[in-house]
Structure 1
Amino acid sequence: MIKYHPDNAVLKQFAAGELPVSVSVIVSSHVEMCPHCQAKVAQFSKELADSTFAPESAFFNQVAGVEDEQFISMIDSITDLEPDPATDKLPKTVTEIEIAGKRLALPRALKSLGLKEWSGLGKLSRSRLDLDDGDMRMSLLHIEKGGNVPTHTHKGFEITLLLQGSFEDDMGRYQTGDFIWLDGEHTHSPVTEEGCVCLTVSSDALHFTEGVSQLLNPLGKFIY
């Protein structure tokens, strides 16, 4: 059972299309897995539509004054776009991966994004998703059985969606579908007994905080 979700403010921004692209993708991936959040997004979308298309709204009045032929022309101008040749050079997109002998179907929101080569460090491995979103980076992160990430905090924020397996930290235990948003106010040390695969969005590197673990701060840049 999914216990951790985006808060209502984030879901409302998602329904309104106001989130940064990478954050929207990870929220969409959670919503795909979570009936509870699907219902909330449907409710917020309906409220937004009711407000936008209400007879007294500016949008309604603007559309009402447009002739049918003009409206069709407007839609054609939006949808009739030439394909971008640059898209042929993007990394190959995938819909399913295999990690540690297990198959994992990726969320639909990732289907148009290229997946780069995996790189590993100890029991951690990471593959970047090809998405240009400023300082924010989106990755698939795999932690092998018995693996852990030393105690750390976050210079920016880190969003984690658990796609497979489970892990636990100082704040709780997380299972497939759980959505965790952390920032500099949180310090934790995740550990997994069975192994896990996560989709992550980070705005900056991790910062390791205790003793010798501070020597591992290059690892924070690896995960970011």
Structure 2
Amino acid sequence: MINHHPKNDILTAFVSGQLPASVSVVVASHVELCEHCQQQVELITAQQAASAFNSASDNALIGEAPISKSEIDELDMIDMITALEPDTASVETAPVEVAVNNKLLTLPSALRQVGLKEWQGLGKLSRARFDLDDDEMRMSLLHIDKGGSVPTHTHKGFEVTLLLEGSFDDEMGHYSVGDFIWLDGEHTHQPVTQEGCVCLTVSSDAIHFTQGVSQILNPIGRFIY
């Protein structure tokens, strides 16, 4: 059961196309897995469409130029296109699978056009970067093997996590497949997994380790987020 969702302002920005590309991919992937957020996105989309229509009507009432015949024809054409049933025969529906720890993982459809670089690992942690140019943000798959953990840390920027397989726990709760987590410098945690997990993550800046010998990695933290 999915218990952690994007906040309403994040979903609103997603529908409006105002999120960074990598964050939008993570939100789209969550929505694909979450019936509750699918309904929320449909509601927000309808509200924004109604607002845009009412705004256009108000502009017409206060004397702005009326909509031309060519614009009406264009709107009618859009309505006709959106009313058509999708041509499933011409749409690529094959799932994307990647090998993680000698098992195949099916990725959300939002990732079908994004390349994945080679895996790099240390101990029970391994990470593969997605080939997506999004300023300073980095999108990755993070795999934590059974019994593994990430040392206690906070974040210099923000980190968005979508759990794709398995489960993990930290000081703030328990997370399972489909859960969406947004953390920043106000949060300090140590993710621990008993069964192993795979996460889709986006980080805007380096993580900062806060306890034990892991703190010696902080000088190179920017290069390992």
Q: What TM-score do the two structures reach when normalised by structure 2?
A: 0.83
Find the aligned partners of 1:62 and 1:40 in 2 and give their Cα distance: 35
The DSSP-based 3-state class of the residue aligned with 1:15 is helix
The DSSP-based 3-state class of the residue aligned with 2:141 is strand
Q: 1:63 to 1:30 in 2, by over 3 A?
A: farther
Find the aligned partners of 1:63 and 1:32 in 2 and give their Cα distance: 39
Deviation per residue, 1:156-214 (Å, 9 max, x gap): 00000000000000110100000000000000011111110000000001100113221
Percent identity (aligned): 62
1:189 aligned onto 2:173:
no
Matches within 5 A, 1:99-178: 99-178=100-179
Q: CA deviation at 1:41?
A: 0.4
Find the aligned partners of 2:59 and 2:200 in 1 and give their Cα distance: 39
Paired amino acid for 2:101: A
Find the aligned partners of 2:224 and 2:58 in 1 and give their Cα distance: 46
Instruction: Give the corresponding residue for 1:25.
Output: 25
Q: 1:69 to 1:183 in 2, by over 3 A?
A: closer
Q: Which runs of 5+ in 2 are unaligned?
A: 79-94
Find the aligned partners of 1:182 and 1:114 in 2 and give their Cα distance: 25
Instruction: Figure out how many residues of one structure are paired with residues of the other and give that number.
Output: 203
Q: Considering only aligned residues, what root-mean-square deviation do their CA atoms show, in Å? A: 2.3
Instruction: Give the corresponding residue for 2:15.
Output: 15
Find the aligned partners of 1:63 and 1:211 in 2 and give their Cα distance: 68
Instruction: Give the corresponding residue for 1:40.
Output: 40
Matches within 5 A, 1:91-106: 95-106=96-107
- Segments of 4+ moved more than 3 angstroms: 68-72, 218-223
Find the aligned partners of 1:64 and 1:34 in 2 and give their Cα distance: 39
The DSSP-based 3-state class of the residue aligned with 1:53 is helix
Matches within 5 A, 1:50-65: 50-54=50-54, 55-56=56-57, 64-65=67-68
Instruction: Give the corresponding residue for 1:201.
Output: 202
Find the aligned partners of 2:66 and 2:111 in 1 and give their Cα distance: 34
Paired amino acid for 1:24: S
